[in-house]
Structures are given as C-alpha cells and as structure tokens.
C-alpha cells in the first residue's frame, strides 16, 4: 500500500509542477515535438515505397536525371558518331541546347560540321531526353605561351620563329 501511495503522490507532484510554472523537461519537449510531427510508423502518408520509386523521386527532385543522361551521352559518344570519329573528337560541354565538341584537328572539325544534321538526328534517337538544337565543332586550342602568374601583357617577343 505504501508503494502505491508513493506513485500517486509522485504523479500528483509532477502534474502540480507542470501546471504551476509551465516548465517542461527536455524529454517532455522532445516528446511533444515528435507527437506534433506525426512520426508514428503506420500513420497516413507513411506508406511503403519501392526503391525504384524512391530513386525516381530523388532524381526528379535534384534534377539528377538530366545529369545522368548527359553523362550517358559523354560516355557513349562513339554510338552517336561512330568509332573512328569518336577517337578524333569528344563532347566537351552541354549548355542550354548547344553541344560543344572538341576535335583533334581542324580537318576533323570541318568533316563533322558537314555531318551535323545526321549527328543531331542520331542524338535525338539515342538520347531523346536531352534537348540539343546545335552542335559546335571546335578544333584544338592553340598553346598558351603565358607562364606563371606574373607575365607581362602584350604580344611578347616577335622574333621567336624568325
């Protein structure tokens, strides 16, 4: 009987403290927060989903689908232009609807420029989710003679190749 009286008295004392000054313990605050947000495992809105649905949701939310399609284009470039042309060129960047392709030589850039309509058609077949309106074929970049962070602006020495 004494133990039961202790629990009743303890419960009364705790309810008195909670109602008299309104101060809640850290645990009580945490429990209230979790009850408000509805974190019960089988509540509404907590239905099970498959891994595929979860990944599709993530890809859509963070626009990873577009990034994956772009990466697929860059890695499968030989399927679009053929093996020999892929050895002489590679896609450098995709901005907006323009694909920039860097070529090994200006001759390869000219050759692929002539095939641009066929390449665009093949891109639409292979990667329908990518919107590519134009392909820019560039030759190799010229070497930079600027060395280091402290270089003088201007044309520099002109008797190098004379």
Q: What is the pLDDT of residues 143-158, one digit of tens each?
A: 776 777 777 777 666 6
Q: How confident is the model at residue 161 (pLDDT cuts 50, 70, 90)?
A: low
What local confidence, expressed as pLDDT, does residue 39 receive?
54
Reported confidence tier of residue 9, pLDDT bands at 50, 70, 90: confident
Is the per-residue pLDDT at 2 higher than 70?
Answer: no
Predicted confidence at residue 44, as pLDDT, reads 65
Is the pLDDT at 43 greater than 60, yes or no? yes
pLDDT of residue 40: 62
Q: What is the pLDDT of residue 46?
A: 66
> 64-138 domain in CATH 3.40.50?
no
Helix locations, the chain, DSSP H: 2-21, 26-37, 51-61, 64-75, 77-81, 83-88, 106-114, 116-126
Tell me the average pLDDT of the chain.
Answer: 81
In this predicted structure, the answer to whether residue 162 has a pLDDT above a threshold of 60 is: no
User: What pLDDT is recorded for position 21?
Assistant: 64
More confident of the two residues 15 and 112: 112
Domain regions of the chain by residue span: 64-138
Q: 49-106, pLDDT tens digit by residue?
A: 788 888 888 888 887 878 888 899 999 999 999 999 999 999 999 998 899 999 999 9
**Nearest in space to 99 (alpha carbons), one of 122, 143, 59:** 122
**Is residue 38's pLDDT more than 60?**
no
Residue 51 to residues 14, 54, 61, 72: CA-CA distances in angstroms?
Answer: 46, 5, 15, 22
Element (H, E) at 91: strand 89-95
**Residues, the chain:** 162
């Amino acid at each position: 009987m004494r133990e039961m009286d202790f629990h009743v008295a303890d419960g009364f004392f705790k309810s008195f403290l909670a109602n008299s000054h309104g101060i809640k313990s850290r645990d009580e605050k945490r429990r209230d927060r979790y009850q408000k947000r509805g974190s019960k495992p089988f509540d509404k809105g907590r239905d099970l989903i498959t891994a595929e649905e979860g990944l599709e949701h993530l890809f859509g939310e963070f626009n990873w689908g577009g990034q994956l399609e772009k990466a697929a284009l860059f890695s499968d470039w030989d399927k679009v232009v053929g093996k020999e042309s892929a050895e002489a060129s590679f896609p450098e960047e995709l901005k907006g609807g323009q694909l920039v392709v860097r070529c090994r030589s200006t001759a390869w850039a000219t050759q692929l420029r002539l095939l641009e309509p066929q390449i665009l058609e093949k891109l639409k077949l292979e990667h329908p989710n990518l919107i590519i309106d134009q392909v820019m074929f560039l030759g190799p970049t010229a070497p930079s003679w600027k060395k280091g962070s402290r270089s003088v602006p201007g044309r520099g020495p002109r008797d190098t190749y004379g």
